[in-house]
Structure 1
Amino acid sequence: MFSDWMWVIFTLIAAASQTARNSMQKELTTTLGTVGATHVRFLYGLPFALLFLFVISLVEGTPPSILDANYLLWTATGGMTQVLATGLMLAAMRMRSFVVTITYTKIEPVFVLLFAAIFLRDLPTHLAAAGVFVATAGVVIMSWPAKGAAFGAMTSTAMGLGSGALFALSAVFYRGGILDLPEGSFVLNASTTLSVALAVQSIAITIYLLVFDRKVLVALIASWRASAPAGFFGAFASQFWFLAFAVQSASLVRALALVEIVFAQVVSRRIFRQSTTAKEFAGMGLIIVGVLVILFGSTR
């Protein structure tokens, strides 16, 4: 049935859109710094998320659900861990290539599998779980530091892997928040959670910049022409991530999201003119095999 594969379509759209957003954010780090570029996806994504929510609510003729404290805890925690994850990812991008940094973060499915089991009692099939580990082995091969690697390379590896762990936590918390909503369609609940998360993130980082770095906030506002597209693609990608989380376990969604490495490879070569090693190609091959196993295993 088509409904069994909706999460696959949602995830592929999200991964492609997120690749576009990440490339835009990478460019913005040179003018706005890591914190400023991190804030772009939240501050400029919020208006688009609210627009999505308004349109969906209007079409369905149903208002968003009333939010309780438990829901807000799930979603706010997911939002703040995502902020930290994005910051670490962008910091790593300033030290390593675009595709390699994205690859580092994709150790995430193993963390998601662990965290989803702990917090949500949410487990995939044995075959899908095997696919997660095959794909993750590809990530490990790609990201393993060369013998005698410089300290900077190892630091960027640690940042990338830490980013993946935090992204995993945010995915699990977001799914927990969506599942906690008592009423509404999965589309409306996903859109509600996206809007709430972006609002929490935008408020938190804006307050931080007001207190500690107003120059970055001023620069961020002044660069709205360059930042708005990144905000749109960020909100658009998140909309489809959240739709996928609403209908499928976070571990399978984030495992299939490993296809983002392939998308990132195209961007890295065509836009940033960055080359890829044989080891990285081998890792990507394992990732593709793992993703195919995950897709097959999720339908058994």
Structure 2
Amino acid sequence: MWIMFTFLAAFMQAWRNAFQSKLSKEVSVAGVTLARFIWAGPIAACYLYGLHQYQPSALPEFTGTFWGFVIGASSMQILATGLMVKLFRMQNFAIGAGLAKSEALVAAILGVLFFGTQLSLLGWIGVVIGGLAIMLLSSKQGFKQLSVKTVLLGLACGSAFALTSLWVREASLTLQGPFTHRAAWVLLWVIGLQTIVLIGYLLAKDKSTLAALWQRPTLTLSISITSCIGSIGWFSAMSLQAVPYVKTLGQIEVFFTLMIAVFWLKDKVKINDVAGLILIAIAAVLVMWS
């Protein structure tokens, strides 16, 4: 079951990125970011309701610490998604998604520095390999014409995603009850807050973007559905099996990404692009195994 859930999560996440890449050509960064959350809230609410029906549990107490982590995670995920959309516009879809996957490597470093995580020599080797992969992906001509701007944008995107994951976990640990229910509550509140903030911003600053999303209901709904199902898939897999196994198997997303880029988006993926994406997968696996 955990293998099935992991494949589901990786597959859905790859498609979500592909849909966002396509929408980014027609809608502003804020609009593409909102598309990830706007319909995900009701799906997350239904998922939480189903959990409580299957395994009744008392409502948790939401402390000030909980809300601090939720607000931080919500803000970082909005920022990360916006930066990833910019990556899509600077490079092709596969490369943008690959740079965004520096999340696992940045999370390892932040975990060691601020969250008491222990990283072995094998883990640090993975971090170095991941850094080389990011530099490779950022340059269309290999290392000879390295794009510092793309490297920094990729690292910023990965860092924001990493902080999102770390703070979501911390928020979950402040709650009482079964792990499945705690994570589902965090998911619901994070998505809800993100939706409110982005809709409020666009109503005040850019109503035309809301109209643009309304005119593209299929693509917008596809992004929200794949995003939420992907999150549920990761969560379900990790509730059944140890995280290192899930994350290791989850690197299959890299290859789903390549297949989608080549066969659906018709992107041209060069040999050094493939090498960079494979190096990122190897680096993430080393970090997880450590």
Q: Which amino acid aligns with 1:101?
A: G
Contact 1:105 1:164 in 2 (8 A): yes
Q: Secondary structure at the match of 1:286?
A: helix
Matches within 5 A, 1:242-281: 242-243=235-236, 257-281=250-274
CA distance in structure 1 between the partners assigned to 2:190 and 2:29 by the alignment = 20
Deviation at 1:211, TM superposition (A): 0.8
Deviation at 1:126, TM superposition (A): 4.7
1:112 to 1:170, Cα distance in 2 relative to 1, 3 A: same
Contact 1:78 1:169 in 2 (8 A): yes
Normalised by the size of structure 1, how large is the TM-score?
Answer: 0.83
Alignment of 1:98 onto 2:77: no
Q: Secondary structure at the match of 1:54?
A: helix
Q: Return the match for 2:82 from 87, 90, 95.
A: 87
Contact 1:36 1:220 in 2 (8 A): yes
Alignment of 1:53 onto 2:33: no
CA distance in structure 1 between the partners assigned to 2:49 and 2:264 by the alignment = 35
Map Cα deviations across residues 209-266 of structure 1 (whole Å, 9 max, x no partner).
Answer: 1110112123323433331121111111122344567789989976765443222111
How many pairs were matched up?
289
**Paired residue for 1:201?**
194
CA distance in structure 2 between the partners assigned to 1:9 and 1:122 by the alignment = 28
Q: Return the match for 2:71 from 69, 76, 89.
A: 76
CA distance in structure 2 between the partners assigned to 1:292 and 1:202 by the alignment = 33
CA distance in structure 1 between the partners assigned to 2:71 and 2:20 by the alignment = 23
CA distance in structure 2 between the partners assigned to 1:205 and 1:215 by the alignment = 13
Q: Could you tell me which runs of 5 or more consecutive residues in structure 2 were left unpaired when the two chains were aligned.
A: none
Deviation at 1:103, TM superposition (A): 1.3
Moved more, 184-193 or 234-243: 234-243
Alignment of 1:171 onto 2:173: no
Contact 1:64 1:189 in 2 (8 A): no
1:55 to 1:223, Cα distance in 2 relative to 1, 3 A: same
**Paired residue for 2:156?**
162
Matches within 5 A, 1:221-232: 221-232=214-225
Q: Secondary structure at the match of 1:275?
A: coil
Contact 2:105 2:287 in 1 (8 A): no
Alignment of 1:236 onto 2:229: yes
**Paired residue for 2:174?**
180
Map Cα deviations across residues 151-208 of structure 1 (whole Å, 9 max, x no partner).
Answer: xx65444323321111111111111111222x22221111111101001100111111
1:202 to 1:249, Cα distance in 2 relative to 1, 3 A: farther
Contact 2:134 2:151 in 1 (8 A): no
Percent identity between the aligned chains? 24
CA distance in structure 2 between the partners assigned to 1:161 and 1:253 by the alignment = 23
Q: Secondary structure at the match of 2:24?
A: helix
Normalised by the size of structure 2, how large is the TM-score?
Answer: 0.86
Map Cα deviations across residues 125-173 of structure 1 (whole Å, 9 max, x no partner).
Answer: 55455445444543433334636749xx654443233211111111111
